[in-house]
Amino acid sequence: MDIIGLETPAASEKYLAPKTEDTSPFWIPEYGKTYLGTPCYQLRLNSPLSCFQYVISGSGVLLCNGRLLTVKTGDTFYLPAGTDHIYYSGPDHCFSRLWINVTGPLCKALAEVYGISGHVVFPDCDTSLLLSRLHTLCAGAKTPEEYKQSTAPVFLELIQQLAAHRAKAPHPPAPVEEIRLYLDRHIRENPKLSDIAAHFSFSPEHLIRLFRKTYGVTPHRYILQSRIRMAMILLRTTNTPVSRISEELGFSDPHHFSSAFQLSVGLRPSAYRKQENT
């Protein structure tokens, strides 16, 4: 498993909305489908988008607002704007989904009115028909105004369906997923293997063996890959100095960070930022 290369699954359809400056109060800037057999690791820090996804098949793990959740075939999940979105395919490495990304104040207002704010996973909530209808309407709209007016009523139906399923309890993560989720929550703290093992009442050897059997890498390697992955995003999307990124991600010093980054990505952090912003 190499999460550094898993930003956007290759076997995906992704479509963009027509260009317009009038996106309020509701807009679907992106929509698409991710196919079966596509390992995925997605991370958006303080996402400007709300994300609605239906799991066609496979399973995945979500980290949103400090909450650790799993989803499976037949579930729908909602990640609100203004939060960090972290989700990835489960141990089966299959995570096929229908999805839309949404912007505008209408989404937040409807979520609050219908009582789904704070809810992330909606178990056994089949929203595939509504999401497919939204895809069809988005693809068939001739103008930005038609795009907005035709999709908003169906989006309301989507929120209403989610509200009808909000009382169901989410699925608890499996033990090995708990370990991975623990690592995700402590990436910046440089956790020691002995501390991780003690937290789960495992020996270090058993923890390494269990984690590697499921994910193909050791916990130490996974932590390093996750840090590099976060660094790639910060270098692309912010002007934060390299030294500050190094500190925030828990590297001992900027030189160590730069060497680790180059070993994983093939470029020094400053060169990677320049390449991605040109």
Residue 234 to residue 243: CA distance in whole angstroms = 12
Q: Is the peptide bond before 25 cis (omega within 30 degrees of 0)?
A: yes
Give the pLDDT mean for 146-163: 96
Which candidate, 71, 78, 37, 38, places its Cα nearest to that of 55? 71
Q: What confidence tens digit (pLDDT) does each residue in 98-109 have?
A: 999 999 999 999
pTM: 0.66
DSSP 5: G
Q: Is the pLDDT of residue 9 over 60?
A: no
Residue 224: CA count within 13 A, CB half-sphere: 19
Work out the number of other CB atoms within 10 angstroms of the CB of residue 116: 20
| Chain mean pLDDT for the chain | 85
The pLDDT, as a whole number, for residue 225 is: 84
Cα angle 260, 264, 268; round to 5? 65
Work out the number of other CB atoms within 10 angstroms of the CB of residue 5: 13
Q: List 217's β-bridge partners, or say none.
A: none
List domains and CATH numbers for the chain. Answer: 3-164 (2.60.120.10), 175-276 (1.10.10.60)
Q: How confident is the model at residue 124 (pLDDT cuts 50, 70, 90)?
A: very high
DSSP 29: E
Residue 245 to residue 180: CA distance in whole angstroms = 22
Which candidate, 271, 270, 180, 160, places its Cα nearest to that of 225? 180
Q: Is the pLDDT of residue 189 over 90?
A: no
Q: Is the pLDDT of residue 7 over 50?
A: no
Q: Is 46 left (phi over 0), alpha (psi -120 to 50) or beta?
A: left
Give the pLDDT mean for 222-249: 85
- Residue by residue, DSSP assigns 53-90 as EEEEEEEEEEEETTEEEEEETT-EEEE-TTS-EEEEE-
Q: Higher confidence at residue 45 or residue 223?
A: 223
Residue 231 to residue 241: CA distance in whole angstroms = 11
The pLDDT, as a whole number, for residue 86 is: 80
